[in-house]
Amino acid sequence: MRTTDPVFALHRGGKMQVTPTVAMRDASDLSLAYTPGVADVCRAIADRPELVHDYTWKSQVVAVVTDGTAVLGLGDIGPEASLPVMEGKAILFKQFGGVDAVPIALSCTGVDEIVETVVRLAPSFGGVNLEDISAPRCFEIEDALKARLDIPVFHDDQHGTAIVTLAALRNACTLTGRPLGDLRVVISGAGAAGVAIARILVEAGAGDVAVTDRRGVVHPDRDDLNSVKRDLAAYTNKAGLTGSLESVLAGADVFIGVSGGTVPEQVVAAMAPDSFIFAMANPTPEVHPDVARKYAAVVATGRSDFPNQINNVLAFPGVFAGALQVRASAITEAMKLAAAEALAAVLAGELAADRVVPSPFDPRVAPAVTAAVAAAARADGVARL
């Protein structure tokens, strides 16, 4: 480790700070922003709690919460080591969605401990973004928080990845003239991302979706499934496939990799002609793009140095911006689907094999996703504005 590297220079002192939005020039300003003037605002909120959204930053700020157990490709590195990533997430919220965010790294890993801690912190925030929490606890934590909080709770490793994946797949279908409903999809990985991708693809009307883990296809007859995988088995794999990833990829139209490992070239070659290969493991894709392009019509990865990066930053800033804009009480499946459709539509008329998802720096992305999510929240009955 060389702390003289530019990356360490950039991180020295952290990547973010709190900046006031009001001037503090003299005693008059001080008396308005703090005592005695602030007491009037406090009393008003005590009488009418909903005013907290108008007279504090609550409706503009998200808690980015982690326990440091599944950080990027680093795994369980603990809360302190996760903070640079959480700071990075917070500045992405601000840069791409105009949403303020606060990194919160917790020194506990128990489901109940995390849930109780976040519930107690929730009055300060308009939404909760769960980040880098290992499966299957991430599912339990999200479900428990959704049941107890009336603000949006969103596990980005699941739903952000799923939204961008669906958008890319929709555009790949548009580009090649293939209906989503005709596709047979194989997902490698039954963790947070794999489960969420399967769910959103089924919701969107994909033809058939099979998910594999280390023991092969997830199906109802297996006796080793946890509760999450049992639920997954109930709504995927309509074809009743069994066996290994390699066996079920034969003839498949789509491969989505969110597990790591390597898929041999001969297995890729056995997929359907003009397939779609989204090999998203970082830093090493399950199928190298040079190999994938020999057989696939569209190739995507999770890396920024190849075309078609499946990058969560295309989704989560706009999703939260839209939800906060209407003071949504939750982020629903309809809102996620709307986000994916809006993201795909950004490239209408501009599609190419190496351009089925926009750049994170495309200024059209966040406004499109924000507007679509806000409209979907209103239609779904979870908007309070």
Catalytic residues: 34, 89
Bridge partners for 216 per DSSP: 213
> Which residues make beta-bridge pairs with 155?
130
Q: Which residues pair with 299 in a beta bridge?
A: 277
The DSSP symbol for 4 reads T
Contact status, residue 341 vs residue 170, Cβ threshold 8 Å: yes
CB-CB contact of 290 with 67 (8 Å): no
Find all residues with CB under 8 Å of 83, minimum gap 6, and list them: 103, 105
Contact 185, 206 (CB under 8 A): yes
CA distance 376 to 383: 9
For residue 148, the Cα-to-chain-centroid distance in whole angstroms is 21
| Count of other CB atoms within 10 angstroms of residue 353 | 15
Cα–Cα nearest to 277, from 263, 335, 266, 346 = 263
Nearest-CA neighbor of 127 among 312, 309, 327?
A: 327
Angstrom distance (rounded) from CA 104 to CA 107? 10
CB 220 within 8 Å of CB 233: yes
